[in-house]
Amino acid sequence: MLFICVCGKNIVSLQANTMRTAYRHTMTVMILVVVSVLISACSPQRRQQAEMTVARADSLRAAGQYYNDSAALAEAVKALRPVRLFHPNSYAHACYHYGRMLIDANSPLPAVEQLLQAEQYAGKDYILRGHVYSNLAYLAQMELRWPIAYDIYQQAGNCFIQGKDTVSYYVSLYAMAIMSAYARSHDSTFVLIDSIRSNCRDSKIRIDAFAPAMQFYMRTHQYEVAIQYADSLLEYESHQSLSWITKAQAYHYLDQKDSACFYAEKVVATDSELFNLRSAYYILTNDDPNADKELIKQRAATRADIQHEMQHRQAELTQAVDYYLHEQQARKRRKIALFIGIFVGIALLLAGLLLYRRRRKHKRDIINLHKQNKSLQQTNKELLSEQEELYRRQKQNSYQQFEETCRVLCAYKDLKNEIHWNDYQTLCGFMDLKFNRIITKLQAMTTLKEAEVRLCVLVLIGLPSKEIAEVMLYSPKSIGRMKENVANKLGIHGSQLRAYLLQIMGF
C-alpha cells in the first residue's frame, strides 16, 4: 500500500513537471512568433516600399489623377499600421488613398473606416484633412443627406483655407452650393455662387458655379430657367451629362416628350451614373412614342435592375454614413469625457496641493508650537528655579529674622519675671507675628493645655529648661516631665520638640 502511494505521488509530480515544461515551451514559442511578426511588420524595406507607394499616389493626385493599384495601397496600409505612431503622416496618406479607392469600388463602410483613420493621424496636414472631409461629404451626398454633406464640405473648406489651397477651397464652396440647391435654400445657394464667381480666379470653377443655380431652379420647379442654365453649361462644355439629364427631366415635366427623350438617349449613351441612368430610362419608358412594347419592357427591366442596385448601394451608404456619424458622436463624447477628466484631474491636483500646503502649514504650526512649548517650559523651569531660589532665600531670611527675634526675647530681662499669659502673648505678637501663628496652631490642638502651649513657645524661643522653670514657676523636673508629655501628645521624641515646632512654623 505504501509502495502504491509513493509511486502515485511520483507520477503526479512527474505529470506536473511535464505540464510546467510544456507551458514554458508554449509561452516561449508564442513570444518568438509575436516578436518575429513585429519584426517582419516593422522591417525597414517593407516600410520604405509602402512610403514609395504613398508618394506615387500623392504625385498622381497632385496631377489630377488617381492611383488605382488597390493591392499595393492595402499592403502599404498594413505595413505602416504597426509604425503609425512614428510615421503618422505616411500612414494617414496611405489610409486616405486606400479609402478613396474603396469608394470607387463601392465599399463605403470600409472606406469610411480608412478615411477616419486618415483624419485621426493627419495632424496639421490640413490639405489632406480637407480631402478626407471631401470624400466623406461625397458619401453623405450620395446617401442624399444634404445638410450633413453641407456641414462636412464646410469642414473641408475650412481645412483648405488653413492649408492655403484656394482652388480646393472654391471646389468645396461649389459642393456646398450644390447641397444648398438640393435642399432648396435660395439664400445660401446664391450667396455661395456669388462668392465663387466674384473671387475665384479659376475660370472652370466660375463656369461650374452655374450648376448649383441650375439644380436649384430644377428643384423649385422653375424648369425654363433650369434649361437656360443647362444651355449655358453646355455652351462651355461643362457638366455635359448633368446638363443633359436636367434638360431631359425639365422637358419631361413640361410635357415636351420628344426633347425629353432626345436628351435621355444622350444620357443613356454616355453616362454611367446610376441615378442619372434610372431617371433617363424612366423618361424613355414613359415618353418615347416610337418605342415598341418589347423595347418598353426592356427599358423597364433595365430601370428595375438599376433601381435594385441603387437600393443595395443605398443601404451600404446608409450604413457607412451612420457609422461616420456614430464615430463623430463617439469622438465628441470622448473629447467631453477627456475634458471632464482633465478638469477633474486638475481639480483633484489643486485639492491635493491645497491639502498638502495645509498639512505642511499644520506641521509647521505644530513644530512652532512645540518650539514655543519647549521655550515656555524652559522659561517656566527658569521661573520655577528663580521662584524656588527666592523662596529659599526668603525662608532663610525669615528663619534668620526669627532666630534673631528668639535671641532678642531670650535677652529680654522682663521675660524671666512673673508676668501674665496675655501680656506674654502681646509681647510675643509685638516682637514677631509668627509667634501668634504658632500659638494659634498649638491652641487648636485641644489635647494641649495652656501651660503646655506656653511651654512650647518658650522651647521655640530657645530657653533652656532651667530658665523655662523660672519663667513658668515650675521645678526643672516638672518642666522635663511636661516636655515628655507634650512630645508624646505630638508623637515625637522629646529632643525633637523644637525642630517639630520650627517645622510647624514653616522653617
CA 391 to CA 408: how far, in whole Å? 25
pLDDT digits over 261-277, tens only? Answer: 999 888 888 877 888 88
Share of the chain above pLDDT 90, in %: 28
Average pLDDT over residues 320-334: 89
Angle (CA) 54 138 183, round 5° = 160
Task: Please give the pLDDT value at position 428.
Answer: 60
pLDDT digits (tens, 9 = 90+) for 30-50: 776 655 555 554 578 888 888
More confident residue, 9 or 425: 425
What's the total number of domains in the chain? Answer: 1
Indicate if the pLDDT at residue 10 is higher than 90: no
Q: Is residue 230 part of a domain?
A: no
**Mean pLDDT, rounded, for 251-266:** 90
| Close Cβ partners of 218 (under 8 Å, ≥ 6 residues apart) | 226, 246, 249, 250
**Does the pLDDT of residue 344 top 90, yes or no?**
yes
Determine the longest span between alpha carbons in the chain, in angstroms: 179
* Residue 442: exposure state from Cβ atoms within 10 A (0-12, 13-18, ≥19): buried
- For the ranges 129-143, 338-352, 482-496, the lowest mean pLDDT is seen at 482-496
Q: Which three cell numbers stand for residue 280?
A: 433617363
137-174-116 Cα angle (round to 5): 20
Confidence of residue 410 (pLDDT cuts 50, 70, 90): confident
Q: Please check whether residue 441 lies inside any domain of the structure.
A: yes
Lowest mean pLDDT among 81-85, 149-153, 216-220, 495-499: 495-499
Cβ atoms of 101 and 68 closer than 8 Å: yes
Amino acid at 304: A
Cα separation, 81 vs 87, whole angstroms: 9
**Span 148-196, pLDDT tens digits:** 999 999 999 999 999 999 999 999 999 999 999 998 888 899 999 999 9
Residues contacting residue 339 through CB under 8 Å, at least 6 positions apart: none
> Which region among 226-230, 264-268, 286-290, 415-419 has the lowest average model confidence (pLDDT)?
415-419
Cβ atoms 67, 56 nearer than 8 A = yes
The reply to whether 466 falls in a domain is yes
Instruction: Say if pTM beats, i.e. exceeds, 0.75.
Output: no
Q: Which three cell numbers stand for residue 421?
A: 499669659
Pair 158, 168: CB distance under 8 Å: no
In a domain, 320, yes or no: no
Q: Are 200 and 219 in contact (CB under 8 A)?
A: no
The answer to whether position 481 is within a domain reads: yes
The values of phi and psi at residue 116, to 5°, are -65, -35
Helix (H, G, I), strand (E, B) or coil at 285: helix
- Are the C-beta atoms of residues 404 and 411 closer than 8 Å to each other? no
Q: Is 447 contained in some domain?
A: yes
Structural domain harbouring 431: 412-505
User: Does the residue 206 lie in any domain?
Assistant: no
Report pLDDT digits (tens) over 75-124.
Answer: 988 988 888 888 899 999 999 999 998 988 888 999 999 999 999 999 88
Instruction: Inform me whether the pLDDT recorded for 3 exceeds 60.
Output: no
Residue 350 falls inside a structural domain: no
pLDDT confidence tier of residue 14, bands split at 50, 70 and 90: very low
CB–CB of 284/291 below 8 Å? yes
pLDDT-wise least confident of 187-191, 429-433, 501-505: 429-433
> What pLDDT, on the 0 to 100 scale, is given for residue 474?
83
**Cell numbers found for residue 74:** 492595402
**pLDDT for residue 51 is more than 50:** yes
* SS3 label, residue 168: helix
| 88 class by beta-carbon count within 10 Å (0-12 exposed, 13-18 middle, 19+ buried) | middle
